[in-house]
Amino acid sequence: MGGEIVAASFCPGDGQAEPASVLAAYAAALRREGVVIDEGEPVRALVVEAGRVVGVRTERERIAAGKVVLAAGIETNALLAPLALEVPLTVAEVTGLRTRPMPQRLGPVLGVVGAEIALRQQKDGCFRVTGAAAVHAGDRPPGPRVGGLATLARDFARLVEGAGTFPLEESWIGFLDQTPDALPVIEAPAEPDGLIVACGFSGHGFALGPVVGRLLCDLLCDRASALSLEAFRRERLLAGGSDAAVTLHG
């Protein structure tokens, strides 16, 4: 570890997973259960009739549905706007990079207070590093900023001894749908009927995916949930109170 680290907390129950592999496994499991996954076919609108969501409209067709889960990330408000609904969201872009295999060894996922950077090492020795978050300017082409990569490289070197120079394999940016309090919105709005909204995961959606899936299943099936969703209602963000300071511990 770098010499600038003066204190740390350790959670022995923490884990890590490779997002691409996990998503591929999810997709395979869904297909085994008969779910049809239509990739590359964006939903352009929610179809509402007589105060109820009855389906979605894509580029090619209209798809009927008894209920619709809107989990569209940064595109959520574009689909809610025709329904006179909105979730207070800020779109952030986060820079990511992957190194080639390096001799340094890191066991746990490492994050810092404020979440300026997070990193982990794969079994093959490659490091994955993310951070340098910035408000997304919608009019700029997607792709990593030079400044973001420089900040990430600097912070990487501060945390991992000997990482002042490293072999870069790839870099990218990802987009986060952030709420003012960094907590998601998970609810079935009063109107229109048949709509369920899940958004604003603020960078934590991958880790929360399994439990959120169970909660959404309860909402879809009109079952009482084992967990209260009151704290995740959209109204908490529309109350007009002053924003509380949000501190992320890694």
More confident residue, 11 or 240: 11
Q: What are the residues whose beta carbons fall under 8 Å from the beta carbon of 115, sequence distance 6 or more?
A: 131, 133, 203, 248, 250
Q: What HEC string does 161-205 produce?
A: CCCCCCCEEEEEEEEEEECCCCCCEEECCCCCECEEEEECCCCCH
Q: pLDDT value at position 41?
A: 92
Contact 46, 82 (CB under 8 A): yes
Q: Say whether pLDDT at 96 is over 80.
A: yes
Enumerate the β-bridge partners of residue 1: none
* Residue 71 burial (CB count, 10 A): 18
- Kind and range of the H or E run holding 48: strand 43-49
Question: Boundaries of CATH 3.30.9.10 in the chain?
Answer: 90-178
State pLDDT tens for residues 209-231.
Answer: 999 999 999 999 999 988 999 99
Kindly indicate the confidence band of residue 140, based on its pLDDT and cuts at 50, 70 and 90.
low
Q: pLDDT value at position 2?
A: 72
User: What SS3 state is found at 90?
Assistant: strand
Q: pLDDT value at position 249?
A: 52
CATH-assigned architecture of domain 90-178: 2-Layer Sandwich (3.30)
Structure tokens at 30: 């869904």
Q: What angle do CA 129, 88, 82 make, to 5 degrees?
A: 120
Structure tokens at 193: 């009927």
Contact 121, 143 (CB under 8 A): no
Question: Boundaries of CATH 3.50.50.60 in the chain?
Answer: 21-89+181-236
Q: Which of 25, 90, 79 is nearest to 57 (CA)?
A: 79
Calpha distance 74→95 (Å, rounded): 16
Q: What are the residues whose beta carbons fall under 8 Å from the beta carbon of 158, sequence distance 6 or more?
A: 2, 4
pLDDT mean over 15-30: 93
- Pick 21-89+181-236's CATH classification: 3.40.50.720, 3.40.50.1220, 1.10.10.10, 3.50.50.60: 3.50.50.60
Q: What are the residues whose beta carbons fall under 8 Å from the beta carbon of 171, sequence distance 6 or more?
A: 95, 96, 97, 98, 144, 149
More confident residue, 246 or 194: 194
Q: Which of 56, 54, 28, 52 is nearest to 41 (CA)?
A: 56
pTM above 0.75, yes or no: yes
Kindly indicate the confidence band of residue 242, based on its pLDDT and cuts at 50, 70 and 90.
very low
Lowest-pLDDT range of 38-47, 111-120, 205-214, 226-235: 111-120
Q: Report percent pLDDT > 90 for the chain.
A: 70
Q: pLDDT value at position 3?
A: 73
State pLDDT tens for residues 151-206.
Answer: 999 999 999 988 999 999 999 999 999 999 999 999 999 999 999 999 999 999 99
